[in-house]
Amino acid sequence: EERHGVTVPTIIFSAQGNETQAKLDEKLLRPIITNLLSNAVKFSPKGGTVRFDLICQESQAIFRIQDEGLGIPIEDRERLFESFYRARNANTIQGTGLGLAIVKKCVDLHQGEITVESEVGVGTTFAIALPLT
């Protein structure tokens, strides 16, 4: 899709599970979602697709964001959440290396868990599991 002369990926949102009331801190949740979605869009190819799934389970909410971007080399994953660290294949894409460090800190403050699956040339999926208690 093209907006203001820029081709952006299509974002597909889905929600699964029963309606659940959850007490989550908006000030912590907002940077998690905005940083992960921003990265997914930024690293996706023209005409690509970004998927954002919300899965509500009895004890946790899972936010899963998947892109069709560069993918993260396996040797970079260990340091991915360090401040100012950027994957080797991301040098040509603008960024500070702070976004994922902020995401990790916010997830930790929620007593949640973050996982990443990635394949170079295929894309990356981040899953954030936050307890609903």
Residue-wise pLDDT for 3-38, tens only, equals 555 567 899 999 998 766 777 889 999 999 999 999
Ramachandran sector of residue 47 (left: φ over 0; alpha: ψ -120 to 50; beta: rest): left
| Residue 55 pLDDT | 93
| Residue 89 pLDDT | 61
Which residue from 98, 92, 37 is spatially nearest to 70, judged by alpha carbons? 92
Query: Is the CATH number 3.30.565.10 carried by domain 2-131?
Result: yes
Per the CB < 8 A criterion, the answer to whether 19 and 25 are in contact is: no
The domain ranges of the chain are: 2-131
- How much is the pTM? 0.85
Q: Which residue stretches of the chain have pLDDT < 70? A: 1-7, 19-20, 85-97
In angstroms and rounded to an integer, the radius of gyration of the C-alpha atoms of the chain is 15
Count of beta carbons in the 10 Å neighbourhood of residue 37:
17
| Residue 71 pLDDT | 87
Which residue from 65, 72, 67, 116 is spatially nearest to 90, judged by alpha carbons? 72
